[in-house]
């Protein structure tokens, strides 16, 4: 038997219908005709890092795919079920977004699990998924040398974003869109504790975005 709908969700839905949806009725009617989001955001599934909240984006602005540790998987041809790659293909080829942003975050549990050598990580799906980050972990280790787990995790968060940005560019249709229509590829990290946003700059460093 199906369980009853959870009260927390239903209460929230009712607030939404009476609040935002009612207030933005015209905008929703317009959105029903179709979407033209400007950016694809690849973010972590972590419940604390909602891209629409962080970028104060209205419905219709962001095409979002979230997964554990905001990873872009490597190009894998020959079929298979590739949720992130499918979302990427749709956003770039069909929606023709202007940019793709890989957005990591501070205190990422997935990154920490990889930094700690996959200690206690379930092995059916999560382990193989997080192993995508292993080359980034080796690079992070080599760059910072002897470090605590917290320091390594924090650095790996940034290095992993850079690696995901590079893997994005390896998708042939992404490379084509960069060459043909200047598709922009971005990386950033949001810090939950203090709200800081660091943006991957041209020289490969992360620069804090000023708040005014």
Q: Which is nearer to Zn ion, 42 or 183 (CB)?
A: 42
Contact between 108 and Zn ion (CB under 5 A)? yes
Identify the CA nearest to 127 among candidates 108, 113, 115.
Answer: 113
Output phi, psi for 118, to 5 deg.
65, 30
Q: Which is nearer to Zn ion, 72 or 92 (CB)?
A: 72
Contact between 46 and Zn ion (CB under 5 A)? yes
- Piece of 12-20, 57-65, 106-114, 138-146 that binds Zn ion (CB under 5 A): 106-114
Report the distance separating Cα 48 and Cα 51, nearest Å. Answer: 9
Report the distance separating Cα 171 and Cα 164, nearest Å. Answer: 11
Report the distance separating Cα 91 and Cα 96, nearest Å. Answer: 6
Report the distance separating Cα 128 and Cα 107, nearest Å. Answer: 21
Q: Of 109-148, which residues contact Zn ion (CB under 5 A)?
A: 110
Contact 65, 84 (CB under 8 A): yes
Structure tokens at 198: 């660091």
Q: Of 162-191, which residues contact Zn ion (CB under 5 A)?
A: none
Work out which of 41, 44, 177, 183 binds Zn ion, going by CB under 5 A. 44
Residue 21 CB, shortest distance to Zn ion, in Å, is: 29
Q: Which is nearer to Zn ion, 170 or 192 (CB)?
A: 192
Residue 74 CB, shortest distance to Zn ion, in Å, is: 19
Q: Applying CB under 5 A, which residues contact Zn ion?
A: 44, 46, 108, 110
């Amino acid at each position: 038997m199906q369980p009853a709908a959870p009260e927390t969700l239903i209460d929230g839905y009712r607030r939404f219908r009476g609040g935002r949806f009612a207030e933005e009725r015209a905008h929703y009617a317009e959105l029903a005709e179709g979407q033209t989001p400007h950016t694809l955001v690849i973010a972590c599934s972590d419940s604390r890092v909602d891209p629409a909240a962080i970028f104060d984006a209205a419905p219709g602005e962001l095409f979002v795919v979230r997964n554990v540790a905001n990873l872009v998987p490597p190009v894998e041809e020959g079929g298979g079920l590739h949720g992130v790659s499918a979302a990427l293909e749709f956003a770039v080829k069909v929606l023709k977004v202007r940019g793709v942003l890989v957005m990591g975050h501070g205190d990422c549990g997935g990154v920490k699990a990889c930094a700690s050598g996959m200690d206690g990580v379930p092995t059916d799906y999560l382990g193989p998924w997080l192993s995508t980050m292993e080359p980034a972990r080796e690079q992070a280790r080599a760059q910072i040398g002897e470090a605590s787990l917290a320091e390594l995790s924090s650095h790996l968060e940034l290095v992993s974003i850079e690696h995901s940005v590079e893997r994005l560019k390896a998708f042939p249709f992404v490379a084509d869109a960069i060459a043909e229509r200047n598709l922009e590829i971005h990386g950033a990290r949001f810090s939950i504790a203090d709200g800081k946003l660091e943006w991957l700059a041209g020289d490969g460093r992360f620069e804090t975005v000023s708040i005014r």
